[in-house]
Amino acid sequence: MEVKEMAKFVPRGIIPAMATPTDEWGNINEGALRKLVNHLIDGGVHGLFPIGSQGEFFALTFEQKKKVIEIVIDETRGRVPIYAGTAALTTKEAIETTKMARDLGVAAVSILTPFFTNLSQKEVIQFYLDIARAVPDLPVLLYSNPARTKVPITVETVKELAAVDNIVGIKDSSGDMTLTAEYIRVTREMDFSVLAGRDTLIYATLCYGGTGSITATANVDPSLVVEIYEAFMAGDHRRALEAQYRLAPLRLAFELGTFPVVIKEALNMIGIEAGQAIRPVGPLTEENRARLRQVLQEMGIVKA
């Protein structure tokens, strides 16, 4: 296994897991996607992450994924790094998607554990090794979301993969702060970054030594999420924690509908035409749409 010998790309800061503006059948709205890119960069984010779970990677074709990445790179114009999601059910498809993203010019990729197949940890390790070796010049982030994939990434697996030269970090969406803390503890002497994937735990992850967050809520109010990170880095823990408290109701509102519809509906409410979630995910009920609007009003994002 290749051991790190030099300083590597460091995933850091607030990196929105971008929604993909579409109609209900998955046709991409390029104008809205470009508007979203600028909304996020204007909000002070430190990177952009298209084609993740919030970006409905599971509902897009290979060519659509390529188109989204091309648009995001073009509109970003080098202002922040692009982290592309390149998840797939098979190693072959994940490698093909990762190579496509690399060739388009992304700074790094983040790859979710394969879902449905309920892999062993040995198989998880081999999956990531195969991809990392196929793109040795590209930084790779692990992505743990066991609630959706049913495939955890254990502390031991993270420690082993963190020694690989171009595996530079992990997005942890487990929601288990003990697990997040252990990821950080066992890799703290390595060139490896742990980023919060659960938006209610950004401040806590930073306190433990994490380097930032890949966050869905930042689509809607990027400046608030950025405030958590920037205040923390400036040593103002009280302001960072207060920003985390203000963000919490939006993350908790995810329960109002089937993922990932809530962020798309919230974007529509603030004037970015994210459209509908791709079928079979349906829209919010009128009652829950009103509840979401109330959350955004109380956060000061939309007017009453």
Specify which residues 17 forms β-bridges with: 49
Catalytic residue among 143, 183, 203, 208: 143
Please list the helix, strand and coil fractions of the chain in percent, rounded to the nearest 5, in that order: 50, 10, 40
Active site residue 171: yes
Residue 215 to residue 262: CA distance in whole angstroms: 14
Q: Which residue has the tokens 């959706």?
A: 148
Contact 57, 51 (CB under 8 A): yes
Catalytic residue among 35, 66, 171, 264: 171
Active site residue 143: yes
- Sequence-distant (≥ 6) Cβ neighbours of residue 92 within 8 angstroms: none
Strands (E), the chain: 13-16, 83-85, 108-112, 140-144, 167-172, 193-196, 212-215
Catalytic residue positions?
143, 171
